[in-house]
Amino acid sequence: MGIAVPETISGEMSSAEFHSFQERRPDHERWELLAGVPMMMTPPTLVHNRIASNLERLLNSALEQMSKPWVAVQRPGLEFDSGNYRPEPDVAVIDADFDEGQRFVHRAYLLAEIVSISDEIGVPKLREPWIDVKRRIYRAHALCEAVLIVRQDRIEAEVDLRIGNDWQSSTLSGGEAELHLPAFGVQCALGDLYDGTPLRPRKRRT
């Protein structure tokens, strides 16, 4: 996924200005705010979309079994106290009672990123990859119970789970590795996230 900054946008935006800007953009556009600089993300790969859809489906299925008042959605806008940074997670678990036309949420319980090329760019002023900044923002959210950083070029994921006031981090690798998210009722093989992708293609019926 690449990044484009329209020539019509110059200078730094505040989070409030960015919020207003997003409200006026077409639904198909995806924007994030990096150190006050609005960035338009180019369309993700099909693999990226497939992994996000698989994760969303697995989460919603588990949440329904647990009768949790939460729902997994793709690409919600976040209204966190994160200064002039406004990431947009690929998948998030949020409260199920959202309003018609709602774009932004103040509460999220799981935040996941499917790593794209744009996530590896250096953030202005911080000189660290955007994916690392997003991970730190997500972990700083008081209600967040889990953060997932999922690779799309290989079967691998970094999992952060909140344990009390601390975070427990682990790296899973390989299709048979167990992905366990106890707060969300998910216990499956990591490879299930990649079902239907070139990394784990579906078997053709004969």
Q: Quick check: is 126 in a domain? A: yes
Mapping DSSP onto H, E and C, the string for the chain reads: CCEECCCCCCCCCCHHHHHHHHHCCCCCCEEEEECCEEEEECCCCHHHHHHHHHHHHHHHHHHHHHCCCEEEEECCEECCCCCCCECCCCEEEEECCCCCCCCEECCCCEEEEECCHHHHCECCCCCCEHHHHHHHHHHHCCCCCEEEEECCCCCEEEEEEEECCEEEEEEEECCCCEEEEHHHCEEEEHHHHHCCECCECCCCCC
Q: Quick check: is 17 in a domain? A: no
Q: Quick check: is 49 in a domain? A: yes
Q: Quick check: is 158 in a domain? A: yes
pLDDT at 3: 46
Q: What is the pLDDT of residues 49-106, one digit of tens each?
A: 999 999 999 999 999 999 899 999 999 988 888 777 778 899 999 999 998 888 889 9
Low-confidence ranges of the chain (pLDDT < 50): 1-9
Domain count, the chain: 1
pLDDT at 8: 44
pLDDT at 81: 81
Range of the domain at 109: 45-194
**What pTM, to 2 d.p., does this model score?**
0.81
pLDDT at 5: 45
Q: Quick check: is 114 in a domain? A: yes
Q: Quick check: is 205 in a domain? A: no
pLDDT at 1: 38
pLDDT at 59: 98
Q: Quick check: is 22 in a domain? A: no
Q: Quick check: is 27 in a domain? A: no
CATH number at residue 137: 3.90.1570.10
pLDDT at 125: 74
